[in-house]
Amino acid sequence: AGVGKGAENGILIKDAESLELSKKVDAIVLDKTGTITEGKPEVVSIQWKTGAAQKELSQLLFTIEQQSEHPLAEAVVRHLKKTAVQSVHLEQFESITGKGIRVMYAGNSYLLGSPALMKEESIYIEPQLQTIANEWLSKAQTVIWLADKENALAAIAIADKIKQTSVEAVKELQQKGIDVYMLTGDNEFTAKAIAEQVGIHHYKAEVLPADKAAFVKALQQQGKTVAMVGDGINDS
């Protein structure tokens, strides 16, 4: 009867055991993008390094993001399309899982990706550019960087609004005695700001797709019955 009732409400329940287990759930893990947030990221601003060749680099940025499958990439493509940019020819394209992209263009190497990738590759970021990026991060915006092999060339701020229902949902779960956790591939600054806005006390930032399953297993080892909510392939 329960499985039938779920189907009527658009909920597919795998088997009776899943349904029986669900009442014992005492920990719930939420993915951030598209679950807590609307999953419709928009570019808020692009800040260029002093003296950067903006027109050519915009075309490079546009071309890289056109080939990426990341939701943030779509936001950048939509934003740059407004300025009628053209595509350029890339000699090489390499995806760095969970961190970004490395390309060869006009004989030079370029990176596009997370603050963690910039750190790993020892990329120099101008102090004034970093100050602006920190400001964006404190407002719960995601920052991605474009860099050559030594210097950051541009910081891109992307915002994804929190769903109106998220705060209420988190509160209801906590009132039922369920621990709520948030996982995100995003940086610490953004994760903290979003967690605070929705009232989540436990969160983990810069989580790679493979880390999500490990996190759930760790909670299960503490004796918790865990539910996971996400909208991506890697969540399932």
For the residues of the chain, what is the DSSP string, one character each? Answer: -HHHHHHHTT-----HHHHHHHTT--EEEEEIIIIIB-S--EEEEEEEPTT--HHHHHHHHHHHHHH---HHHHHHHHHHHTTT------SEEEEETTTEEEEEETTEEEEEE-HHHHHHTT-B--HHHHHHHHHHHHTT-EEEEEEESSBEEEEEEEE-PBPTTHHHHHHHHHHTT-EEEEE-SS-HHHHHHHHHHHT-SEEE-S--HHHHHHHHHHHHHTT--EEEE-SSTTT-
d(CA 27, CA 11): 20
* 231 tagged catalytic: no
d(CA 179, CA 28): 6
User: What pLDDT does residue 72 have?
Assistant: 87
d(CA 66, CA 217): 36
Q: What is the pLDDT tens value at each position of the chain, 236 positions in all? A: 899 999 999 999 989 899 999 999 999 999 998 899 998 899 999 999 988 889 999 999 999 999 987 878 999 999 999 887 889 999 999 998 878 999 999 999 999 999 989 999 999 999 999 999 999 988 889 999 999 999 999 999 999 999 999 999 999 999 999 999 999 988 888 899 899 999 999 999 989 888 899 999 999 999 999 999 988 777 77
Q: Which residues touch 27 (CB under 8 Å, ≥6 apart)?
A: 178, 179, 181, 219, 224, 225, 226, 227
Other CB atoms within 10 Å distance of the CB of residue 148: 16
The label of the residue with tokens 């060869």 reads 104
User: What pLDDT does residue 47 have?
Assistant: 96
Partners of residue 83 on adjacent β-strands? none
**Tokens at 116, concatenated:** 């963690």
d(CA 99, CA 95): 8
**What global pTM score does this model have?**
0.74
User: What pLDDT does residue 33 have?
Assistant: 86
At 19, which amino acid appears? L
Judge contact between 176 and 28, C-beta under 8 A.
no
Task: Please tell me which residue in 31, 148, 179, 235 is annotated as part of the active site.
Answer: 31
Partners of residue 111 on adjacent β-strands? 102, 147
User: What pLDDT does residue 83 have?
Assistant: 87
Q: Which residues touch 98 (CB under 8 Å, ≥6 apart)?
A: 185, 208, 209
